[in-house]
């Protein structure tokens, strides 16, 4: 109950700041260390989602941050709560997602004795968060929460970790609120844009690559108009395919894991690369082999919202420090040259993409994940959100799904297993009317599968498709490549995932043939419950392009 004397507890001040800055959701696992903050949510218009493990809670918050561009909020307890949540913090860091993790902390007077679950959060999160701090003085809560929002959303977004001493949270204070944070746009200069125009006018074979965060539906639409006016082939970076409509005639494909070799050749052969928003990290650069480091052979234009990234790996001819949203708006002012020398090539690039993704390859076994993903294209609304974690199963998802709208892809750039299930739950909590699907591997699913209970608890009918091949397939693949036939530590004995779903109060179905998937999917939708569809996938179906035995034989033959 709040007092009427103009004072608030520190916990109340904290929760009021979150509301002012726009937080409407919080994901948590409770702990006695921050029970005063939990209580302060009691009378506020914020949906609190209680989770089963802190990694799930942190990933749900990260997924909301990814989906909205505003910090996802997570509360966990000290020590083990914080270390469990670190999984989500690392994802937010690598994926450039705004997020704030609040950690209950021991009382101030016990510090430095290694009290129960005591950790130094500045030290623990120092290298994986954008900023880690502890609030000692309740009077500074408005200032520090405002700063946390600016840090999490500004420049290249990322996670902030804030420790809250238990005794601090119950202190009473009279302090004014801070105004709401307005994320800072960084506009490209007129000189930058005219230099870019000149470079495009001089180009013969330009390619645009899109990646990173800080986009919006409007920015993606502006880029699509720019691409159209310049007839520019556009590719998307690893797990950022939703930034450009794949059916747009300028779309050249997805630079992810196992990309279309024709796309790689096109990027290598380009004379100008315009990289907007992304970092061209290890995955999209194919282990840093795509461009020369530090000086790409191509004319390289890098647009990024953090100067620290410009020139860090690739030395750009033109570096533009700008947010993707501002840069996309500025593109409207560029004029195409009279003759678009590359315009005959753009339809070829798009045709290469269509040919690569149109018809799934045949794979060993009765369940073809490619056909399932491709079959869902026709059945899903264009705003359906597709989530996934990490594993070879995701190669089929990224190759055959068509992310038609901005914000329809929630996938870990950081390659963190266990991402898809909590991401789907976080997304469904945010947008209950949208269709939300998670693809998971058998290994991937059980890293955070207990959050299925959270989906049931909050009545969130997500559909989780588990591709069960009885192994940590990706690692088995690397094993067969490097140590053919020497299988160790990669086999899995799995539960009946459909029965698991039913035991939690959800819908479950098992699919052993591709054709049985679609009726099972319809039944899952009709059930109105959170659902798991257990796909029995043949372990021989290692990748769309190669079987398990062929991988082994190739390695044994030394090729």
Q: Select from ligand TPP, Mg ion, none the partner in contact with residue 392, using the beta carbon and a kind-dependent cut-off of 5 to 8 Å.
A: ligand TPP
The window from 99-107, 327-335, 471-479, 515-523 that contacts ligand TPP (CB under 6 A) reads 471-479
Helices (H) and strands (E) in the chain, counts: 21, 20
Nearest to 514 by CA among 372, 363, 375: 372
Task: Rank residues 251 and 472 by Cβ distance to Mg ion and give the closer one.
Answer: 472
Give the CB-nearest residue to Mg ion: 441
Q: Are 105 and 33 in contact (CB under 8 A)?
A: yes
CA separation for the pair 290, 76 (Å, rounded): 41
416 touching ligand TPP, by CB under 6 A: yes
Minimum distance between the CB of residue 452 and Mg ion, rounded to whole angstroms? 18
393 touching ligand TPP, by CB under 6 A: yes
471 touching ligand TPP, by CB under 6 A: yes
Minimum distance between the CB of residue 395 and Mg ion, rounded to whole angstroms? 12
Nearest to 199 by CA among 113, 271, 304: 271
Q: Select from ligand TPP, Mg ion, none the partner in contact with residue 85, using the beta carbon and a kind-dependent cut-off of 5 to 8 Å.
A: none
Minimum distance between the CB of residue 417 and ligand TPP, rounded to whole angstroms? 4
The window from 111-119, 304-312, 340-348, 415-423 that contacts ligand TPP (CB under 6 A) reads 415-423
Neighbours of 378 (CB within 10 A): 7
Minimum distance between the CB of residue 211 and ligand TPP, rounded to whole angstroms? 20
Minimum distance between the CB of residue 222 and ligand TPP, rounded to whole angstroms? 34
Minimum distance between the CB of residue 446 and ligand TPP, rounded to whole angstroms? 8
Minimum distance between the CB of residue 308 and ligand TPP, rounded to whole angstroms? 26
Q: How many residues bind ligand TPP (CB under 6 A)?
A: 19
Using the Cα atoms of residue 267, residue 270, residue 276 and residue 278 in order, give the sign of their dihedral: positive
CA separation for the pair 292, 317 (Å, rounded): 13
Contacts of 135 by beta carbon, 8 Å cutoff, 6+ apart: 10, 141, 144, 162, 163, 164, 165, 168
- 422-451: contacts with ligand TPP (CB under 6 A): 441-444
What is the DSSP-derived secondary structure letter of residue 551?
A: H
298: phi then psi, degrees, rounded to nearest 5 = -75, 160
Q: Are 405 and 381 in contact (CB under 8 A)?
A: no
Task: Rank residues 224 and 390 by Cβ distance to Mg ion and give the closer one.
Answer: 390
Q: Select from Mg ion, ligand TPP, none the partner in contact with residue 31, using the beta carbon and a kind-dependent cut-off of 5 to 8 Å.
A: none
Site string for ligand TPP, 474-493 (x = CB under 6 A): xx------------------
Give the CB-nearest residue to ligand TPP: 441
415 touching ligand TPP, by CB under 6 A: yes
Q: Select from Mg ion, ligand TPP, none the partner in contact with residue 390, using the beta carbon and a kind-dependent cut-off of 5 to 8 Å.
A: ligand TPP
For β-strands 463-468 and 318-321, DSSP reports them as: unpaired
Q: Select from Mg ion, ligand TPP, none the partner in contact with residue 259, using the beta carbon and a kind-dependent cut-off of 5 to 8 Å.
A: none
Tokens encoding 499: 């029965």
CA separation for the pair 20, 147 (Å, rounded): 13
Contacts of 372 by beta carbon, 8 Å cutoff, 6+ apart: 465, 514, 517, 535
Q: Per 3-state DSSP, what percentage of the chain is helix, strand, and coil (rounded to 5)?
A: 40, 15, 45
Minimum distance between the CB of residue 265 and Mg ion, rounded to whole angstroms? 31
Q: Which residues are near Mg ion by CB under 5 A?
A: 441-443, 469, 473
Q: Select from Mg ion, ligand TPP, none the partner in contact with residue 475, using the beta carbon and a kind-dependent cut-off of 5 to 8 Å.
A: ligand TPP
Nearest to 94 by CA among 120, 122, 59, 119: 59
Minimum distance between the CB of residue 396 and ligand TPP, rounded to whole angstroms? 9
Tokens encoding 106: 């021991």
| Residue among 469, 479, 514, 551 that touches ligand TPP (CB under 6 A) | 469
Minimum distance between the CB of residue 415 and ligand TPP, rounded to whole angstroms? 5
Task: Rank residues 383 and 538 by Cβ distance to ligand TPP and give the closer one.
Answer: 538
Site string for ligand TPP, 331-370 (x = CB under 6 A): ----------------------------------------
Q: Are 418 and 500 in contact (CB under 8 A)?
A: no
Minimum distance between the CB of residue 434 and ligand TPP, rounded to whole angstroms? 25
473 touching ligand TPP, by CB under 6 A: yes
The window from 170-178, 279-287, 409-417, 517-525 that contacts ligand TPP (CB under 6 A) reads 409-417
Nearest to 230 by CA among 95, 100, 336: 336
CA separation for the pair 148, 143 (Å, rounded): 9
Task: Rank residues 183 and 389 by Cβ distance to Mg ion and give the closer one.
Answer: 389
CA angle 218, 72, 398 (to 5 degrees): 60
Using the Cα atoms of residue 203, residue 331, residue 249 and residue 405 in order, give the sign of their dihedral: positive
392 touching ligand TPP, by CB under 6 A: yes
400 touching ligand TPP, by CB under 6 A: no
Does a cis peptide bond (omega within 30 degrees of 0) precede residue 294?
yes
Task: Rank residues 256 and 415 by Cβ distance to ligand TPP and give the closer one.
Answer: 415
* Chain positions contacting ligand TPP, by CB under 6 A: 390-393, 415-418, 441-444, 467, 469, 471-475
């Amino acid at each position: 109950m709040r007092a009427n004397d103009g004072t608030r507890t520190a916990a109340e001040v904290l929760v009021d700041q979150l509301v002012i800055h726009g937080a409407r959701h919080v994901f948590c696992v409770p702990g006695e260390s921050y029970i005063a903050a939990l209580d302060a949510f009691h009378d506020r218009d914020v949906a609190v989602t209680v989770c089963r493990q802190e990694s799930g809670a942190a990933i749900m918050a990260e997924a909301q941050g990814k989906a909205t561009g505003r910090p996802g909020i997570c509360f966990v307890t000290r020590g083990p709560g914080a270390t469990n949540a670190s999984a989500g913090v690392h994802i937010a860091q690598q994926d450039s997602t705004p997020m704030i993790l609040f950690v209950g902390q021991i009382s101030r007077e016990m510090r430095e004795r290694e009290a129960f679950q005591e950790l130094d959060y500045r030290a623990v999160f120092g290298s994986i968060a954008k900023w880690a701090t502890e609030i000692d003085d309740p009077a500074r809560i408005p200032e520090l929460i405002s700063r946390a929002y600016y840090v999490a959303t500004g420049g290249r977004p990322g996670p902030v970790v804030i420790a809250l001493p238990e005794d601090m949270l119950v202190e009473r204070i009279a302090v004014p609120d801070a105004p709401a944070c307005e994320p800072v746009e960084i506009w490209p200069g007129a000189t930058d844009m005219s230099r870019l125009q000149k470079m495009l006018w001089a180009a013969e074979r330009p390619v645009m690559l899109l990646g990173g965060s800080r986009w919006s539906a409007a920015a993606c639409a502006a880029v699509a108009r720019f691409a159209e006016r310049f007839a520019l082939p556009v590719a998307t970076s690893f797990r950022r395919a939703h930034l450009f409509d794949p059916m747009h005639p300028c779309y050249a494909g997805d630079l992810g894991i196992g990309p279309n070799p024709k796309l790689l050749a096109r990027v290598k052969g380009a004379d100008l690369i315009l990289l907007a928003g992304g970092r061209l990290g290890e995955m999209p650069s194919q282990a840093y082999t795509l461009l020369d480091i530090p000086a790409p052979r191509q004319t390289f234009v890098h647009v990024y919202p953090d100067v620290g990234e410009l020139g860090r790996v690739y030395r750009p001819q033109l570096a533009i420090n700008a947010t993707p949203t501002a840069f996309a708006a500025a593109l409207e002012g560029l004029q195409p040259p009279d003759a678009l020398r590359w315009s005959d090539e753009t339809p070829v690039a798009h045709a290469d993409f269509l040919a690569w993704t149109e018809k799934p390859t045949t794979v060993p076994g009765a369940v073809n994940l490619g056909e399932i993903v491709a079959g869902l294209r026709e059945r899903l609304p264009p705003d359906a959100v597709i989530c996934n974690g990490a594993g070879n199963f995701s190669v089929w998802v990224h190759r055959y799904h068509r992310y038609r709208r901005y914000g329809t892809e929630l996938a870990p750039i950081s390659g963190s297993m266990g991402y898809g299930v909590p991401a789907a739950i976080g997304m469904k909590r945010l947008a209950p009317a949208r269709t939300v699907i998670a693809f998971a591997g058998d290994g991937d699913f059980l890293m955070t599968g207990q959050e299925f209970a959270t989906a049931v608890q909050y009545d969130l009918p997500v559909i989780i498709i588990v591709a069960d091949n009885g192994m940590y397939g990706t690692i088995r693949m690397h094993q067969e490549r490097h140590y053919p036939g020497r299988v160790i530590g990669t086999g899995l004995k799995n539960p009946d995932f459909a029965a698991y779903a039913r035991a939690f109060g959800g819908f479950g179905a098992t699919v052993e043939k591709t054709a049985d998937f679609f009726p099972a999917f319809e039944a899952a939708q009709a059930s109105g419950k959170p659902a798991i569809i257990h796909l029995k996938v043949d372990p021989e179906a290692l990748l769309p392009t190669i079987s398990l035995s062929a991988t082994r034989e190739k390695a044994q033959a030394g090729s």
